[in-house]
Every structure is written in structure tokens, then in C-alpha cells.
Amino acid sequence: MNLLVLRSPDIDRASKFYAGMGLLFTKHRHGTGPEHYSSCVDGFVFEIYPLGNQPPTTGTRIGFCVDDVDSIVTMLVGMGAELISPVADSEWGRRAVVKDLDGHVVELLKPPSSSRNSSTASKRASTDEGDMSQLMPRDLAFEGSTVYSPSGSEMLRSDSISAKS
């Protein structure tokens, strides 16, 4: 996967929401198309387009690895996000689920601090489509406008955005 596009009735508001998690956006326009926001993370492009006459994208569930789930959830709820699942520890790490200001479900995750083994890719390849519980999430670390993966892990859970490092 290399692209995810969300549609929003207010792209400025939506970009501020996701920027609160550390994403850096720039405004773009391709030819005569609509002005939109774009953020690139390890070659993965996350874009926010105006809703316009297009169907809403609120059925899309999005997942992000973050450094501090607790403080980010507090900040996002302060911005108006709806808390769906409170911050708690899980088999994938510390996680919470919120709805963004447009109604997209957003999972926030801080993976366990224990080091991940190098068999993530082989687990991924051998895991049955219906049982994704063997997969380990990836880490993202933010530094300025560059996002990189220090752990080398390959992907998030199946219901979240995944990007190879």
C-alpha cells in the first residue's frame, strides 16, 4: 500500500487533527483538481481531499503508531474527537480508538517496548488471512519533517495502515 485518501468537508480542520499526531502536511493541487493536503511517511502518502460530491470515506479505519498514546488521546479528545475505546494495554501494545472530527475511526498504538524479532515477515507470510494475531506492529519515529522506522518492523495490524520501512 502506498496511498490513502480521506475525504473531509473541512480539509483545514482535518489536517490540523492529523498534524496533532505528528504528520506534516503540505497543500497540493494537481492540474485543475481540488486543493488538498498531503503527508508522506516512508513513501506512504496520506492525503485529505475535500468531500465535494464524492461519497464519504468514514467507513475507513485508520491506524497510527505513536510515542505516547495517553497524551495524544487527551489532545485529540480536547480537539473534539470522540473516544471509542479508552487507552489500555493490549497484546499489540498500549492502544486507544477515537473518531476524528469527520467520523473516521482512528486507532492509536504504542507497540510494546520489547524488541521485535526478525521473523515478522515470515509470520506475515504464513499467517492465515482470518488470523492476523501473530503480526507485530511497526514503530514510527518522528524527527523534523522526516519519518523513519528505527526498528525495521514491517507493518501494523491488518485493520490499520501499513507501510514498509
Asked whether residue 114 is assigned to any structural domain, the reply reads yes
pTM: 0.67
Q: What share of the chain is helix, strand, coil (3-state, %, to 5)?
A: 15, 35, 50
**pLDDT 10s digits, 27-49:** 999 999 999 999 998 899 999 99
Asked whether residue 34 is assigned to any structural domain, the reply reads yes
- For the chain, list the strands marked E by DSSP: 3-8, 26-28, 36-41, 44-50, 61-65, 82-90, 93-99, 105-110, 141-143, 146-148
Asked whether residue 117 is assigned to any structural domain, the reply reads yes
Asked whether residue 118 is assigned to any structural domain, the reply reads yes
Q: What is the CATH number of the domain that holds 112?
A: 3.10.180.10
Asked whether residue 155 is assigned to any structural domain, the reply reads no
- Those residues whose C-beta lies under 8 Å from the C-beta of residue 130, and which sit 6 or more positions away, are none
**pLDDT 10s digits, 93-107:** 999 999 999 999 999
CA distance 12 to 107: 21
Q: Where would I find the H helices in 11-143?
A: 11-19, 69-78, 120-126
Q: How many domains does the chain divide into?
A: 1
**Residue 141: pLDDT above 50?**
no
CA distance 138 to 64: 9
Asked whether residue 72 is assigned to any structural domain, the reply reads yes
Asked whether residue 54 is assigned to any structural domain, the reply reads yes
Q: Please report the pLDDT score of residue 41 as a whole number.
A: 87
Asked whether residue 159 is assigned to any structural domain, the reply reads no
Higher pLDDT residue, 118 or 27?
A: 27
Most confident among 87-91, 111-115, 157-161 (mean pLDDT): 87-91
pLDDT-derived band at 1 (thresholds 50, 70, 90) equals confident
**Residue 119: pLDDT above 60?**
no
CA distance 78 to 2: 31
Class of residue 37 by CB neighbours under 10 A (exposed 0-12, middle 13-18, buried 19+): buried
Q: Which domain holds residue 128?
A: 3-148
